[in-house]
Amino acid sequence: MIQDPTGEIAGRHVTVAGLGVSGMPAARVLRALGAEVTVVNDGDDESARRQATDLEALGVAVRLGDGDTLPEGTSLVVTAPGWRPDKPLFAAAAAAGVPVWGDVELAWRLRGPDPAPWLAVTGTNGKTTTVRMLASILEAAGLRTAAVGNIGVSLLDAVLADEPYDVLAVELSSYQLHWAPSIRPHSAAVLNLAPDHLDWHGSMEAYAADKGRIYEGNEVACVYNTADPRTEELVRRADVVEGCRAIGFTLGSPGPSELGVVDGLLVDRAFVSPDDTHEATHEAAGSRSATVPAHSPGGRRSQAELARYRQRRAQELAEVADVDPPAPHNIANALAAAALARAFGVKPGAVRAGLRAFRPDPHRIEHVADVAGVRYVDDSKATNTHAAEASLGAYDPVVWIAGGLAKGATFDELVAKAAKRLRAAVLIGADRALIGEALARHAPDVPVVDLDRTDTGAMTAAVREAARLARPGDTVLMAPACASMDMFTNYHARGEAFAAAVRELTAGRSAARER
């Protein structure tokens, strides 16, 4: 039976803003808790009408095609995360003194008396992979867990589950964090920060501030990326529980209070302890102080003892080869996941087992096939310049397939960094000219094929052109640096089109050999 531990919901008139994957479960839960619920939704299409019919059968009022008007008597708004803060609905709520929660905030408030701790992850790129790696590690440690949040599983379902979880691996977007002022994770990580969704947040400063909310109230560890000073700055600004530590991750040799890479090994100098006597440890090389002052939480050993031990020792967690795929940015994801797991007390052996068991989602630097000595890689999920930069940095030389909807992005910095790796580029999509102009400025010697097409069949032509330009040993990399909606339903459909075109290429070569 669903219960409200706060007693805040029953009898209250709650307006749910938006249907879909967050609005539907929110409306159902609120109604089950005794609230008077009205759902407002911008769209009035067939899908929305079907959802409205389902909710109306539960006694929920639904207003389709009217997402801007605040229903009379509303005392709380629960919004879908993607609804922009500047919508008239929220201005009306503010004027009336009505609080606005996101579905994540609602889930946080509905946790029971002994709730599962949250290990939370945000960042411009890598969130889903890191959260799924973390869940795999926690499962390997024998813990009942789930990857939830922005990853597609409803947090409400998780916190209200009949069988309680030991711990939750929670992916949080900047949108969700904006509407979740009360959440206080056990530990959290910001993987990276780069300009994204600025049309929604209004500025890079506002975007970063919303990301930084994930550190508020952390109990054990604030995990940050030593290669991205902006993540470190968010740790400095956070108001955390006394004793919470700042834990860095790096692709280089780690200092004390960091996790990093040494001689092909993922190692831990943040949580290594004399109590891990059954696990392999190593003398630490190149000791250096952590950038952010760190304070060890209490335990069987004194803080001073542990600090001295970490100056000298590093705990082996896994091999680089245990990470699939072992691209640099994916190694960083694994280190962040390991840091959060170690903050929760997971032993090194479970970290290794969890990383070995993990398999990435489709369309994330996914190896499709090798054809005539050329590797074909699908990174359709690289929908912004930051993600594409990480992907391009993993291969050399590259025939780059790029383009789509730029969402206001510029490409000069990306192209300048990748120029030496590029064999050629094939451009598709509505905003391909922006990438072409950047290539002309920063990589004028790189051959460019500009496919003046935005139909879905353009991907087949792009792969054929890339195959023509590639040489044995090259990688044809589809890392568009753009959104997909100008040509495809989503990045999944774009990735499937790329894979199908590569399979066509393979079939064509097989047929030619048979002749």
Whether 293 has a pLDDT exceeding 50, the answer reads no
Instruction: Report pLDDT for 235.
Output: 98
**Of 309 and 287, the one with more pLDDT:** 309
Cα separation, 512 vs 504, whole angstroms: 12
Q: Which of 83-97, 100-114, 285-299, 307-321 has the lowest mean pLDDT?
A: 285-299
- Mean pLDDT across the stretch 446-450? 98
Question: Mean pLDDT over all residues of the chain?
Answer: 91
Cα separation, 209 vs 431, whole angstroms: 29
Q: Is 264 annotated as a binding residue?
A: no
What count of other Cβ atoms lies within 10 Å of the Cβ of residue 309? 18
Report which listed range, 104-113, 135-144, 296-305, 447-456, is most confident.
135-144
List, for residues 179-213, the tens digit of each pLDDT value: 999 999 999 999 999 876 767 777 889 999 999 99
DSSP state of 444: T
For residue 305 the two structure tokens come to: 């003892």
Which residues, 6+ apart, have CB-to-CB distance to 163 below 8 Å? 144
Instruction: Report pLDDT for 20.
Output: 84
- Choose among 240, 228, 333: nearest CA to 293: 240
Whether 288 has a pLDDT exceeding 50, the answer reads no
List, for residues 75-122, the tens digit of each pLDDT value: 999 999 989 999 999 999 999 999 999 999 999 999 988 999 999 999
Which residues, 6+ apart, have CB-to-CB distance to 496 below 8 Å? none
Q: Is 125 annotated as a binding residue?
A: yes
- Choose among 293, 481, 465: nearest CA to 390: 481
Q: Is 124 annotated as a binding residue?
A: yes
For residue 212 the two structure tokens come to: 């930084």
Whether 287 has a pLDDT exceeding 50, the answer reads no
Cα separation, 80 vs 175, whole angstroms: 9
What count of other Cβ atoms lies within 10 Å of the Cβ of residue 236? 14
Instruction: Report pLDDT for 315.
Output: 95
- Mean pLDDT across the stretch 139-144? 98
Q: Is 127 annotated as a binding residue?
A: yes
Whether 363 has a pLDDT exceeding 80, the answer reads yes
For residue 286 the two structure tokens come to: 């190149």
Pairing of strands 366-371, 374-378: antiparallel
Confidence label for 295 from pLDDT (cuts 50, 70 and 90): very low
Instruction: Report pLDDT for 229.
Output: 96
**Of 159 and 313, the one with more pLDDT:** 159
Percent of the chain with pLDDT over 70: 90
CATH numbers and ranges of domains, the chain? 13-98 (3.40.50.720), 106-357 (3.40.1190.10), 366-510 (3.90.190.20)
Confidence label for 292 from pLDDT (cuts 50, 70 and 90): very low
Instruction: Report pLDDT for 455.
Output: 85
Cα separation, 395 vs 366, whole angstroms: 13
For residue 105 the two structure tokens come to: 């905030």
Q: Is 281 annotated as a binding residue?
A: no
Confidence label for 248 from pLDDT (cuts 50, 70 and 90): very high
List, for residues 24-52, the tens digit of each pLDDT value: 999 999 999 999 999 999 999 999 999 99
Which residues, 6+ apart, have CB-to-CB distance to 335 below 8 Å? 249, 250, 251, 259, 260, 261, 266
List, for residues 365-409, the tens digit of each pLDDT value: 999 999 999 999 999 999 999 899 999 999 999 999 999 999 888
- Choose among 223, 157, 185: nearest CA to 25: 157
Instruction: Report pLDDT for 3.
Output: 78
**Of 39 and 154, the one with more pLDDT:** 39
Instruction: Report pLDDT for 298.
Output: 41
